[in-house]
Structure 1
């Protein structure tokens, strides 16, 4: 079977779905496009899972998700582990929180029933096991009750998560008060608010493409095309164009380039000699913070994602021409 070399996806998520009709009904899945996937689960477009097709449980809501997976396969592994924590090989036996008490007809352990509390506890566990703790994962919560369950799970956990793990919250905005007779001082603001477009929130506010790092991608392309690599920012040796893998600092105004192995060694530092993948650190040139996952996304796009880069930069040129007109 041929190995497909693709760039790190702009977004791939493992999400938690909850029925708005029956909160005890939960579902775990994975997708690169959460808004479209939610529409499928709710029967608005074709697709979705058979387990979410019952009209008595619709509509469903995405109450939280994990993003930052380096590939579809990585997300599927995490999804399976979160769905099957009682048998996942990613969880050591001594750390397992979910235990099966029944068996199927074939003799295999039956999946224990899940609750919001159990999902949050196993999510906390998976984010700290060696299989996943070095990935640039981020947590997103879109419901206050679910976020409260997560916080409760963190308080009861025996071990702590890495300090650099980012947790985002984006809850539904409160509905505006019932319009009534206003005083003169508020009439102008009311008119402005009524005419303003509602801001997207939750899964609809997630960046689905590479647009947030367009400038970074452009910088990497220019350094590569015009052979401006210079010397490695770590070992100071010359970087011959077209030879080896060279990573570029993500910070605006910094053109620091270095060998992939040098960047890794520098960002890991002396205290992480046992690890292979760095998480973050400071660029030797600009001294600003850099994140390994972002740097690898740009590198894989430069090396493997020619079509994705051309599509992104073409949109950028079209927007620039439109603004100029």
Structure 2
């Protein structure tokens, strides 16, 4: 059966996991649902990874997450690069920080042991390379020492936070290391405030509900008019269009026109913008949100019905 195109997922994240019992033990993975995935790693739900199944290392905590990937495949590419910084082709050889000094039995380079400092330095590097720097990514820190390691590396590398990257800190879900046994750490984890940390991440499309509803109305009732950028007339079903996310603004334009306008005259070789301003209302436009709404409108009729709570006419 052919694989049907899907809308951009509401969340797909690459996470850094750490044992609360042995802080030197780290694990990198990806998931659309961090709270559920953490339960799997801690043996509270079926699933998880073999490397995190040792009871002597449980419970685990998520100390950092990168979100905003446009697809599962994009997140998996980033996950692999962060797990294998000594091999990833996303990192130029002249910029590589992780170097393998040993080989496996098959002759392939052995992965260097990761530490918090090395993980943060490679995370900083990957978020600046051309492959990922223009993606609408967001970096979340849930542990103070992880954030401190990030800031320390930024200072040491004399490089500020990568452009367009939002860095968010939320230390409310921190769990202290176990002092006597893993059971005491488990009790501390169970008592953690679930109103913080990974439990505050939006796992659905609710944050853009009003935007989606507006887009549905504009296109269902064919209030397209002329392109907000090139001013040429637009006909329903004859092109890929996007609508301004601003409240009360129904500016619609060709996708290519929006891109050209938001990139501006100094775009050079870039074809995908990160953010900009609407030509009509002058409001802020996040390219990632605009693409998420467009992908839901064009590919996610089921998700739209679930989000808006009523049936809507399918797009042709």
Question: How high is the TM-score relative to the length of structure 1?
Answer: 0.88
* Contact 1:127–1:161 (8 Å) recurs in 2: no
Task: Give the aligned partner of residue 134 of structure 2.
Answer: 134
| C-alpha separation in 1, matches of 2:170 and 2:14 | 17
Task: Give the aligned partner of residue 290 of structure 2.
Answer: 295
Larger radius of gyration: 1
Cα gap change, 1:174 to 1:291, in 2 (>3 Å): closer
Which of 258, 262, 267 is 2:262 aligned to? 267
Point out the more displaced range, 265-274 or 295-304.
265-274
Question: C-alpha displacement at 1:159, in angstroms?
Answer: 4.0
| C-alpha separation in 2, matches of 1:312 and 1:264 | 27
Question: C-alpha displacement at 1:174, in angstroms?
Answer: 9.3
- Offset from partner CA, 1:264-316 (integer Å, 9 cap, x none): 00000011121111000100000011010000000000000011101111189
| C-alpha separation in 1, matches of 2:236 and 2:19 | 54
| C-alpha separation in 2, matches of 1:38 and 1:169 | 19
CA-based RMSD? 1.8
Gaps of 5+ in 1: 176-197, 317-325
Task: Give the aligned partner of residue 5 of structure 1.
Answer: 5
Question: C-alpha displacement at 1:248, in angstroms?
Answer: 0.6
Larger fraction in helix: 1
Task: Give the aligned partner of residue 228 of structure 1.
Answer: 223
| C-alpha separation in 1, matches of 2:258 and 2:61 | 41
| C-alpha separation in 2, matches of 1:314 and 1:280 | 30
Aligned pair count reads 295
Task: Give the aligned partner of residue 213 of structure 1.
Answer: 208
Question: C-alpha displacement at 1:214, in angstroms?
Answer: 0.2
| C-alpha separation in 2, matches of 1:173 and 1:54 | 23
Determine if the alignment matches structure 1 residue 280 to structure 2 residue 275.
yes
* Contact 2:14–2:30 (8 Å) recurs in 1: yes
| C-alpha separation in 2, matches of 1:271 and 1:174 | 43
| C-alpha separation in 2, matches of 1:126 and 1:72 | 17
Question: C-alpha displacement at 1:4, in angstroms?
Answer: 3.5
Task: Give the aligned partner of residue 21 of structure 1.
Answer: 21
| C-alpha separation in 2, matches of 1:38 and 1:44 | 9
Cα gap change, 1:173 to 1:39, in 2 (>3 Å): closer
Task: Give the aligned partner of residue 169 of structure 1.
Answer: 169
| C-alpha separation in 2, matches of 1:315 and 1:105 | 58
Structure-to-structure mapping, 1:35-184, within 5 angstroms? 35-172=35-172
Question: C-alpha displacement at 1:162, in angstroms?
Answer: 3.4
Task: Give the aligned partner of residue 198 of structure 2.
Answer: 203
| C-alpha separation in 2, matches of 1:201 and 1:43 | 21
Which of 242, 245, 256 is 1:247 aligned to? 242
* Contact 2:142–2:174 (8 Å) recurs in 1: no
Cα gap change, 1:35 to 1:199, in 2 (>3 Å): closer
Question: How high is the TM-score relative to the length of structure 2?
Answer: 0.90
